[in-house]
Chain A
Amino acid sequence: MKVLAIHNIKGGVGKTAAAVNLAYEAAGAGARTLVWDLDPQAATSFYFRIKPKVKGGGKGIVKGKTELDDRIKGTDFDNLDLMPADFSYREFDAQLDATDKTNRLAKALKPLASQYDFVFLDCPPSISHLSENVFAAAHGLVIPLLPTTLSLRTYDQLCRFLDERRISPKRRLPFLSMIDRRKTLHRDVMTSFPAQHKEALATGIPYSSVVERMGLERAPVRAFAPRSAAARAFADLWDEIATRVG
């Protein structure tokens, strides 16, 4: 079982779209796939038409097998299950803080190893105690970045943070998201970013109204717009990631 975290310090970078579409591609290729919606905004759960869990404590996360199993829901797609968001994840961070351990999430994932080939963690934007747990659990950090100066600065911040924790650059999988080829800056970044960062993925995701329509369709892009450029881009991106972490 490989754990992939979709993470960025900054919000609104196409993180949830990446989680939903990459997981859909993985499942479509035959891998048993789970998406764990760790973001209290529950956007991933919403896209899969699954209600976030409101009751119960977020401390359930570290409770073990039965509780995890009971919470998993089948999506409308084969091989693809979801652990819905839990509103109390807001408190989850505080609880993890109290334990001061970074391996709690990894431990919680262990019982799932026999059931899934890939687990995608859709993480809330920020660096927090939760994200430290995420970094410790993940085999790969998939990091969507806007092709803008500010967004790239947050990537450098994140890299410094990861360097301090000795998380190898090999495990970082940054890619450019919401690319608008009409903008000079975007085009420039598309050449300069990979030149400066060897770990960067070659595939980028174009800015697309189809991706925005996910909120209306409540489904992965390829499920309702199989021929769109965005659908193809997510498929290529997944191929690249699968090769890298495979």
Chain B
Amino acid sequence: MNQSWVAFLPLFVKAAGITIWLSWLALMIGAFGGTLIALMRTSRFLPLRLVALLYTEFFRSIPILIVLFFAYFGVPLVLGIDLPPFAAATCALALHASSTMSEVVRAGIESVGKGQWEAAHASGMRYPAIMRYVVGPQAIRVILPPSVGVYVATLKESSLASIIGYIELTKTGLLVRESTGGGFAPLLVLAVIYFLINYAISLGGAALERRFDVGQKFLTVGAGQ
């Protein structure tokens, strides 16, 4: 019985992959949803702004675990459809990520000065073109750094999925710990793996930022207020 955790290392690696995939999927859905919410939030139509505000405040204010329980236990009760643990976890994480991302994207859009909108409007551009060619490319520089943080946060939060029995990284660690006699080592391995993944993401994010930073050309005063 008292097997070494080393034998389970391939299992850890596989589980790490699952965790990365789960949180990446949640982040992508969250970024897409968050962008929609942010566009509503910055719209000139009051009802859209209100709906977006409500959505953001709602999902920011309740624990992800509660959302997870709602998705896993509540949805079958209300809608009569069973969500598998993976789907429930993805939903809960994506809902939460979208509320965070909506604020990140909103800050990015609002960082672009009024003069940019006016110049674009004056040239005859409409909203979609302005977003795509003028405001979006400038906003992305502001959006990118905190987005990396949101990914890291989502990845850590994905460990909550272990509670509804989804076998991701944390759950794998706990199972290994049980079958190896409850030692301390598997927990340490978990911590190290989470650290390595998130540190890699941070490094990757920094590289991405450098790529999107068109030199210093961008920030200097006088260029675009």
Q: Do A and B bind each other?
A: no
Chain A residues proximal to chain B, CB less than 8 Å? none
